[in-house]
Copies of this chain bind each other. A is one copy, B any other.
Amino acid sequence: MTEYPLRPVGRVESPLTDLSAAPRQPDEGAPEAWLVFDERCLPALDGVRPGTDMLLLTWLDRADRDTLAVHPRGDAARPLTGVFTTRAPDRPNPVGLHTVHVLEVAGARVRVRNLEALDATPIIDMKPLLTPDR
């Protein structure tokens, strides 16, 4: 089957470096982080404003792409369930979906609150959370 190449547009800079220390949900204590976009992407960032919520899409590059079913929250007492009904990072195409709150925009660097992604995680896209316009 055809493959499509994802080309990261930036990287996450975060104090989170350890999978086992990463919170399972952002409201469980995710730290602040910087989204460091490539300079060539500056025009794509035009209009990003502090104080707004955005959807960030990442590539969870440390995930296992062969996993099709998991025990939710890694709890072996819970029955195996298909990854498409969970937010588990292990899945055929490990796209991470994060709602982040923008604190600061400095050129191609964007500081955000509530990001549970590990340091150096590739960024693949960002979208507005609410605006219906396209």
Contacts and interface: CB of A to CB of B under 8 A. Distances in A.
Q: How many copies does the complex hold?
A: 2
Nearest to A97: B127
A29 interface: no
A92 B44 contact: yes
Q: How large is the interface on A (under 10, 10 to 19, 20 to 34, 35 or more residues)?
A: 35 or more
With most chain B CB atoms within 10 A of its CB, the pick from A25, A38, A68, A122 is A68
Interface string A70-107: 10110000001111111111011101010000000000
A19 interface: no
Contacts of A38: 1
The 3 A-B residue pairs whose C-beta atoms are closest, nearest first, are A46-B82, A47-B85, A87-B134
